[in-house]
Amino acid sequence: MGSEPAGRRTALARLFGSDQPRRVGARQEARLGWVLVLPLVAVMLGLVFYPLVEGLSMSTRSINFGTGVADHFVGLRNYIEALGASETRAAALHTLGYLILALTLEIAGGLAIALVLNKPFRGRGLVFAIVILPWALPSVVSGVLWARIFNPDNGLLNSLLLQLHLIHTYKVWFASPFWSIAFVTLVHVWGVVPLISLILLSGLQGIPENLYGAARVDGAGAITRFRYITLPLLRPALAVALTTGTVIALAIFDEIFVLNGTALNTRSVMMQVYLTTFQQLNFGQGTALAVVLSLATGMFALAYMGRFRRAAQ
């Protein structure tokens, strides 16, 4: 009695219509928590879980407006047909390529930027703003800007390489399967690295400074400190960065569409989902492919989290 502040007790009592201050306790707090969380739960149910369940249902039905076949249950047929198509296999290989290349560049680049920004220096705020800028641009706009740079006729890249005598004639970069993937990845990484660097920077800022001090006293050099202090303590942030980078890379679409259209040599799984669903109007198969992509994304995320949790333990 009298253990709670009088004002709070009174507010809670008023809220639940209670004139018995003694009954205001954990139960009422829990109820208040539910009341406050319910709107969000309703939104999540309506906008996340219901579409998810409906999507799973669609993926097991024949919903093809292009052929006019009546909607009926087909089990896993959509999955088998979608995954068996040669375009899907090629798209999956491209997507894997984007993922490996993008993650490598994003983590390496993001960490380098985060390490630099972690130290105070003059103009740090300005550098920070410049670093964030690519992330602020919509990916379509980035694609359009970079398309001008890669233009084989009058693009900046060809012009620069020619002046440096690294090429002898202007190159049609997107005619090459290798360079197509490389440049699409470059544009993608350019837009995502700022986000990754922010995540890693927040992780770096959570590492106690006294650990580095103690390590210096013990004679540890920069590389040793990085290896035995920074990296281990950065694991949670790295897990988040890897998960975020993976989700974004697996969903790559805008940059490809703007730079190279529906060309076979750069098509991703997400593009295949779009073509199947909105061009062919085969909603059943398109949804099945989207479910597979979501599962793959989820598996990667679980793998990262599990790996880093075990390492932390």
Partner 1 sequence: MKVERPRWARSVALLTGIVLLATACSSGSSSGDSGGSIKGQHITVMVPPWARLSKNMLAQFEKESGVTVDLNVTSWDGIRDKVAVAGAANTPLADVVELDWSWTGQFGRAGWFAPLQDKLSSSLSADLQNSGAFTQGGNVYGVCYSNDFRISAYNKKYFAKAGIQTPSETLDQLANDLQAVKQSGAAQYPLTLPLSATEGTATAWYLLTLALGGQLFDNNFKPLFASPDSAGYKALQFEVDALKNGLVSPGSISMTDTQADERFTSGAAAVTLASGPDEIVTANDPKSSSIVNQAAFMLVPGESGPGGTFGLPEGLGIMSTSQHQEAGLAFIEWWMKSSNLLKIQSQLGLLPCRTSVVHQLVQQGKLVGGQTIEQQLQSVQPLFPQGAPPWYTRFSTEAATLINAAAKGSMSVGEALNKLASDSQALAGG
- Binding-site ranges for partner 1 (CB under 8 A): 14-15, 17, 19, 63, 65-68, 147, 150-155, 170, 172, 174-175, 177, 259-265, 275, 277-281, 283
The smaller minimum CB distance to partner 1, of residues 56 and 302, is found at: 56
- Please state the closest distance from residue 109 (CB atom) to partner 1, in A: 26
- Please state the closest distance from residue 284 (CB atom) to partner 1, in A: 11
The smaller minimum CB distance to partner 1, of residues 54 and 108, is found at: 54
- Please state the closest distance from residue 151 (CB atom) to partner 1, in A: 5
- Please state the closest distance from residue 250 (CB atom) to partner 1, in A: 21
Q: Is 71 helix (H, G, I), strand (E, B) or coil?
A: strand
Q: Is 225 exposed, middle or buried (0-12, 13-18, 19+ CB in 10 A)?
A: middle
Cβ(33)–Cβ(47) under 8 Å?
no
The smaller minimum CB distance to partner 1, of residues 103 and 187, is found at: 187
The smaller minimum CB distance to partner 1, of residues 257 and 300, is found at: 257
- Please state the closest distance from residue 148 (CB atom) to partner 1, in A: 10
- Please state the closest distance from residue 188 (CB atom) to partner 1, in A: 17
Q: Is 72 helix (H, G, I), strand (E, B) or coil?
A: strand
- Please state the closest distance from residue 21 (CB atom) to partner 1, in A: 13
Q: Residue type at 47?
A: L
Cβ(56)–Cβ(284) under 8 Å?
no
Cβ(160)–Cβ(80) under 8 Å?
no
The smaller minimum CB distance to partner 1, of residues 201 and 259, is found at: 259
Residues 6+ apart with CB under 8 A from 148: 155, 156
Residues 6+ apart with CB under 8 A from 165: none
d(CA 193, CA 235): 18
Q: Residue type at 273?
A: V
- Please state the closest distance from residue 248 (CB atom) to partner 1, in A: 22
The smaller minimum CB distance to partner 1, of residues 15 and 311, is found at: 15
The smaller minimum CB distance to partner 1, of residues 283 and 300, is found at: 283
- Please state the closest distance from residue 176 (CB atom) to partner 1, in A: 8
Residue that has been written with the tokens 């002898």 in this structure: 168
Can you list the alpha helix ranges (DSSP code H) found in the chain?
6-15, 26-44, 50-59, 77-84, 86-118, 124-136, 139-150, 156-163, 177-204, 209-217, 222-225, 231-250, 254-260, 269-274, 283-312
The smaller minimum CB distance to partner 1, of residues 69 and 130, is found at: 69
d(CA 299, CA 92): 15
d(CA 239, CA 223): 22
Bridge partners of 62?
72
The smaller minimum CB distance to partner 1, of residues 66 and 298, is found at: 66
